[in-house]
Amino acid sequence: MKQFIEKLSSKYDLQEVVYQRDNLVFAAISKENAIDAVTYLRDYEGFTHLVMMSCVDWIEDGKFQLLYLLNSPDLKSDIGLKVYIDRENPVMDSAHHLWKQVWTYQREIRESFGIDFPGSPRIEENFVVEGWDDKPFMRRDFDTHEYAQKTYFPRGNRKTNDPAEYMRKKLYPNQPVTAKQRKDDK
Amino acid sequence: MSELDLNKKTSEMLAKSEANAAKAEKTFIRPEDEEREVVAPDGSIIKVNPIYDYFSNEKPKEEKPRGGVVEKFLNWARAESIWVLGFGTGCGSIEIPPLVTPRFDMFRYGVQMRPTPRQSNAFIISGYLSVKTLKRVIRTYEQMPSPKYILALGSCTINGGMYYDSYSTINRLDKYIPVDVYIAGCMPRPEALLHGFVKLKQLIKEGKAEKANEYARNFDEYKANQKKIIKDWNMPDYNW
Amino acid sequence: MSIYVKLAYTFLGLMIVLNWGMLMGATMRKIGARMAGRHGIPFRQPWINLLKNISTRTIITHGVMYYMGPVFRLVGGVGLFLFMPVVFSGGVDGPWTNFSFQGDLVLILYFQMFGMLGMALGAGQGGHPYSAMGIARGLAQHAAVELPLTMAIISIAIQFDTLSIYKIVEAQQGGFQNWVLFTNPFAAAAIILAMLGALGHSPFNLVKAPNEILIGPATEYEGTYLGFMQSAGAIIHVMEAVLFMNLVFGGATSWIELIVKSFLIYFWSVFVGMVFPRFKIEQSITWFFKVPLVLGLLAIIIYMF
């Protein structure tokens, strides 16, 4: 794997290189070079299979991180390329000319995070929810618990039981086992 | 942040959300469902609304049971032959195929699975119900002939279950459609499902399973609840 | 005997056939269930289903032709019964010979197709696209079934030089060796194979099976209409078995013999159905155009000379 990273670093600027296993390596690359690097890996180095494209919301740094995970069937190894884009104005180039299936991932990311991929086919259609008019729901500043309480008529008095504790109290009511359980029973 | 900045930020957010809401309302109706003018065969121009039901636009009516010995006899017949619609709405529908196997045979209870809502009189809501599925469930439920019964499986229909804080699953099922029997569990085992069927039969024979009439009586309230969470309503109000 | 007594006997016969049809259906399902190792439905289930279906409180309609489906099917079943001598006893004017007349063989063949045609009208008006697909497939398969069946029946008619079922049954009395099964084996073989398609069990039940495209033509029918169609189905099953019994297996001289023989004839198709999986429509049509057609042709050719 080292030779691919060296070839890539000679062309583009790579940060945060992590050799996780001997067939899995992650690297961070800038937004302008991302599609070039992915094309280079697909056409010249044999990483022809796109495993997935996912997104992480780093709200403290004000960035979204896109991950392109490529796999080479001949070498049976993976390369993950991370791309950081701005959180206030999230736009990224589309990769649908490289792999046809990427339009699904891009449609899902647009619905859940709000990142736009101009040019991707069927990008504006719904993916998971219909009739969604609030902010994109996978962002970390969207409080899903509060939204559910507000919209969906919650029934109060929720109680949760730890199954092991509950069964112990039911089956063996008079036998505390550890000091903590003795304390809890009081 | 100073107060002036805070006010400006909130007013910006409000303006953005209002613009979003206006844009959203316009985009929720598909272009083929909008009201438009078409040319009739005789040459005149008429206004047509594809969502409006021109055949019959009435609300459901309450059908009072006949009462007396006849109703008792018919309730006995309805209880001994429950035809369940084969629509698995959630994760609990994996507990329904075991009922057809020899171990938990449901045919000896008179319960059969039917493929169309027009021929079935019971509907099993199995587990969590997302807003997308709720729209289809309402359309299917209103197509069934009265008297109809709903069995709600799992704790997600009672108080949200383990998806109580999700952005797209409902918390209480009986705000949207009336429920006859709740079967608790996550998921209930097939024996629990059979126990639920026995309970339903008891209720039918006593004459207490008239929730279809309750749906007709409180139709406006149910419809308001449904429309509150289903924002892209593109079907008639009552899908008979 | 006077017309009123004859009508009373016919009505009584129809009621017996209806109840026996429902009981036979329940018995076949019970046998299938026992083969699968479970208890199966109770015997009284078809009657309870009928009661439940006619007691729904709301009913929908799609227009006038929508009623044609169940009505035509019931008319087909009752017509099959009215013009067939079911129990051969007491001569031509016996109590159970039901208005049969000289040319009734052709009329019976017509009534067999009647139910499907009515369903086509009703399913079309129902407006569901799956109903239309289901009935197109059903009609195609039925047309393929009718070909070897009609050839064998024509061969039997030529053999006995008559178009009246009564005369055919009369010629088969007097012992096993007079049955058409042994005197005209090719026609009997063609009928036994074509019978599988007419009675509608696996491998030819693509049209009616509940988990093929939403039960086909009967998708939009509910409540009372469904009750009509299911009781008509019960009558039609018994009368088809009685038709084949009259043509090939010597007819019945008492109700007990009719019950036993129709059960065994219907059981033949259920037996095949238990063992074989379902055919697709194009496979079933080509199947009928192979062996049964050749047998029917041979049956006609033998009796032409």
Domains of chain B, each with CATH number or no CATH:
68-228 (3.40.50.12280)
Q: How far is CA B171 from CA A59, A127, A149, B51, B134, in A?
A: 29, 22, 9, 29, 12
Amino acid at C155: S
Say if residues C184 and C215 touch (Cβ distance below 8 Å): no
**CA nearest to B161 within chain A:** A158
Please say if the pLDDT value at position B27 is more than 70: no
* In a domain? residue A155: yes
At residue A184 the predicted structure's pLDDT band, cuts being 50, 70 and 90, is low
Tell me what the mean pLDDT of segment C268-288 comes to.
89
- Winning range, highest mean pLDDT, from A97-106, A166-175, B25-34, C127-136: A97-106
Question: For B77, which of C39, C52, C220 is closest by C-beta distance?
Answer: C52
Cα separation, A3 vs B88, in Å, equals: 52
Structural domain of C203: 3-304
In chain C, what percentage of residues exceed pLDDT 90? Answer: 24
Q: Report the CATH number at residue A100.
A: 3.30.460.80
Cα separation, A89 vs C207, in Å, equals: 57
Please say if the pLDDT value at position C173 is more than 50: yes
Q: How far is CA B210 from CA B121, B175, C223, in A?
A: 12, 17, 18
Query: pLDDT tens digit string along C90-105?
Result: 777 777 888 878 888 8
pTM: 0.83
Q: What pLDDT is recorded for position C133?
A: 83
* The token pair that represents A119 in the structure block: 């040019």
Tell me what the mean pLDDT of segment A66-90 comes to.
91
Site from C58, C226, C230 to mutate, B interface, most B CB atoms within 10 angstroms: C58
Strand bridging mode A15-21 / B36-39: unpaired
At residue A82 the predicted structure's pLDDT band, cuts being 50, 70 and 90, is very high
Cα separation, C119 vs C127, in Å, equals: 13
* The token pair that represents B97 in the structure block: 């195929």
Cα separation, C87 vs C254, in Å, equals: 6
Q: How far is C200 from chain B, CA to nearest CA, in Å?
A: 19
Q: What pLDDT is recorded for position C275?
A: 86
Q: What pLDDT is recorded for position A182?
A: 66
Asked whether at least 3 C-beta pairs link A and C within 8 Å, the reply is no
**Each residue of C61-80: b (16+ CB within 10 Å) or e?**
ebeeebbbbbbbbbbbbbbb
Site from B165, B177, B179 to mutate, A interface, most A CB atoms within 10 angstroms: B165
Query: pLDDT tens digit string along B166-179?
Result: 898 999 998 999 99
Interface check for B148 against chain C (CB to CB < 8 A): the answer is no
In chain A, what percentage of residues exceed pLDDT 70? Answer: 96
**Closest CA relative to residue C285, chosen from C188, C200, C204, C213:** C204
Please say if the pLDDT value at position B16 is more than 60: no
- The CB-based long-range contact list for A62-68 (8 Å cut-off, 24+ gap) reads A62/A86, A62/A87, A62/A88, A63/A87, A64/A90, A64/A113, A64/A115, A66/A34, A66/A92, A66/A109, A66/A115, A68/A34, A68/A38, A68/A95
Beta carbons within 10 angstroms of residue C106's beta carbon? 12
* In a domain? residue A183: no
Strand-pairing partners, residue A82, are A28, A67
Given an 8 Å threshold on Cβ–Cβ distance, is C38 in contact with B107? yes
Q: Mean pLDDT lowest for which of A155-169, B189-203, C11-25, C286-300?
A: A155-169
Say if residues A113 and A105 touch (Cβ distance below 8 Å): no
Interface check for B62 against chain C (CB to CB < 8 A): the answer is no
Q: Which of residues 183-222 of C touch B (CB under 8 A)?
A: 210-211, 214-215, 218-222
Interface check for C40 against chain B (CB to CB < 8 A): the answer is yes
Residues of chain B with Cβ-Cβ distance to C224 below 8 Å are: none
**CA nearest to B158 within chain A:** A155
* Ramachandran assignment for C278, one of left (phi > 0), alpha (psi -120 to 50 degrees), beta (any other): beta
**CA nearest to B165 within chain A:** A145
**Closest CA relative to residue C57, chosen from B66, A126, B120, A122:** B66
Helix (H) or strand (E) holding A114: none
At residue B18 the predicted structure's pLDDT band, cuts being 50, 70 and 90, is low
Question: For B165, which of A128, A144, A153 is closest by C-beta distance?
Answer: A144
Interface check for B239 against chain C (CB to CB < 8 A): the answer is no
* In a domain? residue A53: yes
Which of the two residues, B179 and C137, has the higher pLDDT score? B179
Residues of chain C with Cβ-Cβ distance to B146 below 8 Å are: 56-58
Q: How far is CA B222 from CA B66, B173, B215, in A?
A: 26, 11, 7
Given an 8 Å threshold on Cβ–Cβ distance, is B132 in contact with A151? no
Q: What pLDDT is recorded for position B122?
A: 94
At residue B24 the predicted structure's pLDDT band, cuts being 50, 70 and 90, is very low
Q: What pLDDT is recorded for position B11?
A: 55
* In a domain? residue A181: no
* In a domain? residue A176: no
* The token pair that represents B55 in the structure block: 């055949």
Q: What pLDDT is recorded for position B141?
A: 93
Q: How far is B183 from chain A, CA to nearest CA, in Å?
A: 17
Counting every residue, how long is chain B?
A: 240
Strand bridging mode A77-86 / B149-153: unpaired
Structural domain of A139: 2-160
Residues of chain B with Cβ-Cβ distance to A144 below 8 Å are: 165-167
Q: What pLDDT is recorded for position B1?
A: 47
Query: pLDDT tens digit string along A24-57?
Result: 999 999 999 899 999 999 998 889 999 999 999 9
Please say if the pLDDT value at position C227 is more than 80: yes
Query: pLDDT tens digit string along C106-136?
Result: 888 888 888 788 888 888 887 788 888 888 8
Site from C47, C49, C56 to mutate, B interface, most B CB atoms within 10 angstroms: C56
ipTM score assigned to the predicted complex = 0.84
Amino acid at B126: S
Question: For B166, which of A133, A144, A155 is closest by C-beta distance?
Answer: A144
* In a domain? residue A43: yes
Given an 8 Å threshold on Cβ–Cβ distance, is C55 in contact with B63? no
Interface check for B108 against chain C (CB to CB < 8 A): the answer is yes
Tell me what the mean pLDDT of segment B95-107 comes to.
91
* The token pair that represents A4 in the structure block: 């691919």
Residues of chain A with Cβ-Cβ distance to B132 below 8 Å are: 129-130
Q: What pLDDT is recorded for position B2?
A: 52
Q: What pLDDT is recorded for position B31?
A: 77
Interface A–B counts its CB contacts (< 8 A) at 65
Please say if the pLDDT value at position C24 is more than 90: yes
- Rounded to the nearest 10°, the torsion over CA B186, B187, B188, B193 is 140
Cα separation, C73 vs C52, in Å, equals: 20
Q: What pLDDT is recorded for position B137?
A: 93
Interface check for B224 against chain A (CB to CB < 8 A): the answer is no
Residues of chain B with Cβ-Cβ distance to C60 below 8 Å are: 118, 145, 240
Quote the mean pLDDT of chain B: 85
Q: How many domains does chain C have?
A: 1
Tell me what the mean pLDDT of segment B43-52 comes to.
86
Please say if the pLDDT value at position B3 is more than 60: no
Please say if the pLDDT value at position C147 is more than 70: yes
Q: How far is B32 from chain A, CA to nearest CA, in Å?
A: 15
Beta carbons within 10 angstroms of residue B64's beta carbon? 10
Residues of chain B with Cβ-Cβ distance to A131 below 8 Å are: 24, 28, 131, 230-232
**Chain mean position to CA A147:** 22
Quote the mean pLDDT of chain A: 87
Q: How many domains does chain A have?
A: 1
Query: pLDDT tens digit string along C50-97?
Result: 999 998 888 888 888 888 888 888 898 898 888 888 888 777 777 788
